[in-house]
Amino acid sequence: MDRFPYTLTDPIGSAATLGLIVLQVDETIEQDFRRLFAAPDIALYVSRIPSGAELTPDTIAQMAIDLPQAASLLPPAASFDVIGYACTSGTTLIGVDQVAQLVGGNATTQAVTNPLTATIAALTALNVTSVAIVSPYIASVALPICKAFLDAGFDVPATLSFGEEVEANVARIDPAAIHAAALEVGRTPGVEAVFLSCTNLRTLDIIDDLERQLGMPVISSNQALAWHMAQTASVEVATDTHGALLRL
């Protein structure tokens, strides 16, 4: 068989190459990221990490063990501008520095981020000092997230959780219920912004209406992570995206 001559060209991500490590049970963030990073010159590569059917401190601890392999399954020939570990609660319980070490030590990347770091950066960029939190988690997962924001110097006047442990249900929580919960905590005196915590919640399409009704920024895990990755890689998210954060 004759060999036909060819040449090699540049990588697909001529503007940026992004990596995303997604929980095995997450059905939402990839859909959001396809909308937020629609430009053809932005390459987005996704790896999955085993995460268990239920989100508990024990299953999160196991993710710390599995993170290196998940990172190593991203394309080894790619040189990433940034890799995001797409789990808010996992980052909180594993620790930001350890997540960065476990991911960065097993893939070629200039930076590592996560929804917790991204949201703190987003609140700072929006000049917010007080945030209310809506999450789907059970108490043992929700409380450390609240503490993480307190430790970062933010006031947390109100929190609300759906108390859901089964991740398959989290992806199917009606956005109308998330909307109602955000309105409730957002109307607490002293609140300056609302954070919708969890990459598996379907929040992208309710952010604009919430901001109109509350008159304050509304930030979701997926929106913040996409914004922070875009900032880090010096690219833009899609122009029809949602929320005050993405209009900065």
pLDDT in tens, 121-151: 999 999 999 999 999 999 999 999 999 999 9
In this predicted structure, what is the pLDDT of residue 135?
97
Mean pLDDT across 76-104: 97
In this predicted structure, what is the pLDDT of residue 54?
84
pLDDT in tens, 166-190: 989 999 999 999 999 999 999 999 9
Q: Half-sphere exposure of residue 61, counting CA atoms within 13 Å on the CB side?
A: 4
| CA–CA distance, 121 with 149 (Å, rounded to integer) | 11
> Minimal CA–CA distance to 226: which of 192, 196, 194, 199?
199
Q: Which helix (H) or strand (E) holds 32?
A: helix 29-36
Q: Tell me phi and psi for residue 75, to 5 degrees.
A: -55, 120
Mean pLDDT across 184-205: 98
| CA–CA distance, 27 with 47 (Å, rounded to integer) | 13
In this predicted structure, what is the pLDDT of residue 208?
97
CA dihedral 242, 244, 246, 247 (to 10 degrees): 110
> Minimal CA–CA distance to 154: which of 181, 133, 178, 183?
133
In this predicted structure, what is the pLDDT of residue 136?
96
* Band of residue 68 on the pLDDT scale cut at 50, 70, 90: very high
Least confident span in 37-41, 56-60, 115-119, 225-229 = 56-60
Q: Tell me phi and psi for residue 101, to 5 degrees.
A: -70, -45
| CA–CA distance, 214 with 85 (Å, rounded to integer) | 30
Looking at the predicted structure, is the pLDDT value of residue 114 above 90?
A: yes
Looking at the predicted structure, is the pLDDT value of residue 53 above 90?
A: no
| CA–CA distance, 144 with 161 (Å, rounded to integer) | 13
- Rounded to the nearest integer, the mean pLDDT of the chain is 96
In this predicted structure, what is the pLDDT of residue 220?
98
Q: Tell me how far the alpha carbon of residue 203 is from its chain's centroid.
A: 12
198: alpha, beta or left? (left if phi > 0; alpha if psi -120 to 50): left
In this predicted structure, what is the pLDDT of residue 240?
78
In this predicted structure, what is the pLDDT of residue 55?
80
In this predicted structure, what is the pLDDT of residue 133?
98
Mean pLDDT across 100-123: 98
